[in-house]
Structures are given as structure tokens and as C-alpha cells.
Amino acid sequence: DFAEGNIHHKALLISVTVCSILLVLFIILCYLRYKRQETRPHYSIGLEQDETYIPPGESLKDLIEQSQSSGSGSGLPLLVRK
């Protein structure tokens, strides 16, 4: 009985140690990934606040008409009224 109980205690100790090491490694990996993401520059689309997507000489109506007249789903209404 004593030898069997000793083996069970050793197995428990080894499994708890292995799980603890894996948990610590997982936490370290998560922390390093978080720090790498935090130091990475955030990308912007390169537009200033006052710049628009509409090219000069075109109106929003022109862009809507162009988007409805070509491509898949052409002819479908851009806005759906309820």
C-alpha cells in the first residue's frame, strides 16, 4: 500500500508540475503577443479629417449612379425604403 500510494503522489506531483509550467508558458506567450501588438503602429487610411472620398468634379449622385449601373447586382436599389 505504501509503495502504491507513493507512486500516486509522484504522478500527481509530476502532472501538477507539468500543467503549471504549461500555464506559465501560455501566460508568457499571451503577454508577449499583447506587447508586440501594442508596440505595432496602427494603420490609418491616410486621409485627413477634411478630405473626402468623392473626387473633385463628381457628386455623390454621380457615384451612386455609377455603382448601380455596373457589376453584379446592378439595377438593385442602393437604399431600401421601409
Indicate if the pLDDT at residue 3 is higher than 70. Answer: no
Could you state, in order of their start, the residue ranges of all structural domains in the chain?
1-39
Q: Express each pLDDT in 44-60 by its tens digit.
A: 555 555 555 666 767 77
pLDDT at 1: 52
Q: Which among 64, 82, 61 has a CA at the least distance from the CA of 74?
A: 64
pLDDT at 68: 63
> What residues contact residue 67 under an 8 Å CB cut-off, 6+ apart?
78
